[in-house]
């Protein structure tokens, strides 16, 4: 009788083990390649890929050249990534000048900049970039010298912080030189610091 009882007890156990083995074999195996590439997928953001366009509205404050005054500007910028993490940007500005050498006035200008995002967080939350460029500025008062038409040269660093999908806060600091490049002379130009902050929007 004992062998018969043992068979009765063992049979459901064997049946359960067979069912577990079948279920385990039906489960999809993990893709090793996808696991290996997971980090690279996370790090590669759609925000900075080749072919991406950006809209950059921001405000800035320029100063720190003793005695020359300050300039406060509103910027409307557009950027195109012609390589991953490397973009060319056009920046149009309108500004109020609080001159230290003449009456207060206004200015308008345009800059072209190259921007390189050289570091990006693994979770794509923030990035750090370097940019450099130059442009033109027309002003109604003396600010950087005795000529109202001037050239602009700048370079600096900044960062972005993602706040919603592909929308980011963008802020940075630049060294800024404004002068007439010695065409007329006088005043020595403006050498100061620009602080700016705004947004980055895909379109």
Both 15 and 73 in a single domain? no
**Greater model confidence, 183 or 173:** 173
64 pLDDT band, cuts 50/70/90, is confident
Can you give the residue range of the structural domain that contains 194? 48-202
Both 37 and 114 in a single domain? no
| pLDDT of the residue at 57 | 98
127 exposure class (CB count in 10 Å sphere: 0-12, 13-18, 19+)? buried
Both 8 and 68 in a single domain? no
Say which CATH number the domain at 77 has. 2.40.160.20
pLDDT at 133 over 60: yes
Both 9 and 65 in a single domain? no
Both 195 and 99 in a single domain? yes
Number of domains the chain contains:
2
3-state secondary structure 97-159: EEECCCCCEEEEEEEEEEEEEEEECCCCCEEEEEEEEEEEEEECCCCCCCCCEEEEEEEEEEE
Both 109 and 155 in a single domain? yes
Both 152 and 83 in a single domain? yes
Both 20 and 107 in a single domain? no
Residues 6+ apart with CB under 8 A from 191: 65, 175, 176, 177
Both 55 and 31 in a single domain? no
Least confident stretch, 3-12, 179-188, 192-201:
3-12
Residue-wise pLDDT tens digits, 1-28: 444 444 554 555 555 555 545 555 555 5
The 10 Å Cβ neighbour count of residue 79 is 20
HSE, side-chain direction, 13 A CA sphere, residue 32: 0
Residue-wise pLDDT tens digits, 74-128: 999 999 999 999 999 999 999 999 887 778 899 999 999 999 999 999 998 999 9
Both 177 and 149 in a single domain? yes
Both 164 and 66 in a single domain? yes
Percent of the chain with pLDDT over 70: 74
Both 117 and 87 in a single domain? yes
31 pLDDT band, cuts 50/70/90, is low
């Amino acid at each position: 009788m004992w062998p018969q009882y043992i068979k009765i007890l063992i049979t459901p156990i064997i049946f359960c083990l067979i069912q577990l083995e079948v279920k385990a074999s039906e489960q999809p195996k993990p893709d090793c390649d996808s696991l290996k590439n997971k980090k690279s997928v996370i790090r590669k953001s759609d925000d900075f890929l080749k072919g991406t366009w950006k809209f950059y509205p921001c405000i800035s404050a320029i100063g720190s050249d003793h005695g020359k005054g300050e300039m406060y500007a509103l910027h409307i910028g557009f950027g195109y990534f012609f390589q991953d993490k490397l973009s060319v940007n056009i920046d149009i500005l309108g500004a109020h000048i609080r001159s230290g050498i003449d009456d207060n006035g206004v200015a308008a200008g345009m800059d072209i900049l190259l921007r390189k995002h050289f570091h990006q967080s693994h979770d794509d939350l923030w990035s750090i970039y370097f940019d450099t460029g130059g442009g033109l500025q027309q002003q109604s008062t003396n600010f950087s010298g005795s000529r109202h038409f001037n050239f602009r040269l700048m370079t600096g660093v900044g960062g972005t912080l993602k706040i919603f999908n592909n929308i980011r806060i963008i802020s940075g600091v630049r060294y800024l030189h404004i002068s007439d490049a010695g065409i007329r002379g006088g005043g020595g130009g403006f050498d100061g610091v620009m602080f700016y902050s705004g947004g980055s929007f895909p379109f």
